[in-house]
Amino acid sequence: MKERYFRDQALGANKRERTRSALLDAAIRVIAEKGMEALKISDITTAADLANGTFYNHFSDKNEILREAAYGIALEVSRLLDAQMEEITDGPTRVVTATAAFIDLVVVQPDWAAIMIDSTSYLPQLRDDVFTYLRKDIDLGIAQCKFDVDVTPFLIEQIVSLIIAAVRHQLTNGAEPEITRQACDSVLRLLGLSPAKAMKIARTG
């Protein structure tokens, strides 16, 4: 569990930055417990063991800290995914690798899973950025004539929903590699691959 993600990033920084990082880590913990919609500023400061007034020395309102926390985690997740796919040039394989790696990563980081899932509905701009990230590898597969599909917002919605379902199932029931493979298989089928091809790529990556 990376419960000190932002604080670890601020090691060696001045007191102001360390306090700001403590608030961000606290926000993530509370989001995991209550969700973004129910989150209160007092919940964050209590979790960080800081006075309420301290919050406003760093953030103007709840939305600002939610955006910064969500984007900070999303940036780290995308960095880790990109590192795994650095040498992969095949579109379908990139889609499977990214999907499986994302699910596996957040299943063992429930707090990260909570903020990534909640942010896709609560923060429209981050949702658009996630869609753009997903679309890059889909567009690559289309250019390589591997995918035969029209990329629409509804298609991306279906893909995101499948991934979220796989994450939620494993958060509730424990890590199940077969669920991750089924999610990858279903994503590839949505992108136009035959069941046989989708199953082969989903199981071999």
Q: CATH for 5-64?
A: 1.10.10.60
Phi, psi of 59 (to 5 degrees): -135, 145
Query: HSE on the CB side for 101, CA within 13 Å?
Result: 17
Q: Is 138 helix (H, G, I), strand (E, B) or coil?
A: helix
Q: pLDDT per residue over 11-60, tens digit each?
A: 888 999 999 999 999 999 999 999 988 889 999 999 999 999 999 999 99
Out of 1.10.1740, 3.40.50, 1.20.1630, 1.10.357, select the CATH number for domain 67-204. 1.10.357
Residue 1 has pLDDT above 50, yes or no: no
Q: pLDDT per residue over 71-118, tens digit each?
A: 999 999 999 999 999 999 999 999 999 999 999 999 999 999 999 998
Region of 150 please: left (phi>0), alpha (psi -120 to 50) or beta: beta
Taking the model in full, what pTM does it have? 0.90
At 2 the pLDDT is: 60
Instruction: Please give the Cα distance from 13 to 21 (Å, whole number).
Output: 10
Q: Delimit the domains of the chain by residue range.
A: 5-64, 67-204
Instruction: Please give the Cα distance from 130 to 157 (Å, whole number).
Output: 11
* Strands (DSSP E) found in the chain: none
